[in-house]
Amino acid sequence: MIDIIPAIDIIDAKCVRLSQGDYEQKKVYNEDPLEVALQFQDAGIKRLHLVDLDGAKAKHIVNYKVLEKIATKTNLTIDFGGGLKTDEDLRIAFESGASMITGGSIAVKDPDTFLSWIGKFGGERIILGADAKDGKIAVGGWLETTTEDLIPFIGGFKQKGISKVICTDIARDGMLQGPSVDLYKQILAEYPDLYLIASGGVSSIDDIHQLQEAGVPAVIFGKAIYEGRISMNDLRAFV
């Protein structure tokens, strides 16, 4: 059974979604992210992907109080990402209640620091964020595309101890046009034991079934829930 991981993206301590990572295409769905998290918990969800979009832009952790609030008032296992660049950012995230953190830009810009986190906390608590645009890694809240090819990038960190990867196809994120199933198949063909977390484009419960049939271990999604295309009852079938 594929693992279901709803996402809550945070700007100004509110639950929002962007389209294709564009901060100008922001829609606020709820003023209180805790209320959303409790709805997921009530539906039987165990995991939550919490993204500090302010932090991603500012290049340091910003919305840790939101993380702390959700961590203390729910039983959800939270992975947290967005702007984590230093050991201090990581300390704040874990002390605020994150069970895991996701590092994307840091893995590209400062791989030595990211590798030190893997060495200290292990591949179970440090997730690689591999966000791609046209097959190339994108960083900085998706504001910058690099020359790094996606699949070799993943492989390099897998050799260094990473076991979990969130892979987002930016072109599909927030567009409700379906996930990049073929891309995930390519990654899993190369690294079959990888705990690959698909992200971006999920528009319906059928998309989740399609990812499950492709052998994808886990999926992150948000906009499809907030736009009413996937109901909490739909999710109960997976939990």
What pTM, to 2 d.p., does this model score?
Answer: 0.93
Q: Where are the domains of the chain?
A: 3-236
pLDDT score for 26: 83
Tell me how long the chain is: 239
Is 3 an annotated catalytic residue? no
Residue 171 near residue 133, CB atoms below 8 Å: yes
Could you give the angle at the alpha carbon of 89 between the alpha carbons of 218 and 145, nearest 5°? 60
pLDDT score for 73: 98
pLDDT score for 175: 67
Of the options 3.40.50.170, 3.20.20.70, 3.90.950.20, 3.40.50.10440, the CATH number for the domain spanning 3-236: 3.20.20.70
Is 206 an annotated catalytic residue? no
Residue 177 near residue 202, CB atoms below 8 Å: no
In angstroms, the CA 205 to CA 2 distance is 12
Catalytic residue (choose from 54, 79, 89, 131):
131
Written as tens digits, the pLDDT of the chain (239 aa) is 999 999 999 999 999 988 776 788 889 999 999 999 999 999 999 999 999 999 988 999 999 999 999 999 999 999 999 999 999 999 999 999 999 999 988 999 999 999 999 999 999 999 999 988 888 898 855 567 788 999 999 999 999 999 999 998 887 766 678 999 999 999 999 999 999 999 989 999 999 999 999 999 999 999 999 999 999 999 998 88
Nearest residue to 102 via CA among 123, 120, 116, 88:
123
In angstroms, the CA 206 to CA 179 distance is 11
Catalytic residue (choose from 9, 54, 89, 207):
9
pLDDT score for 22: 76
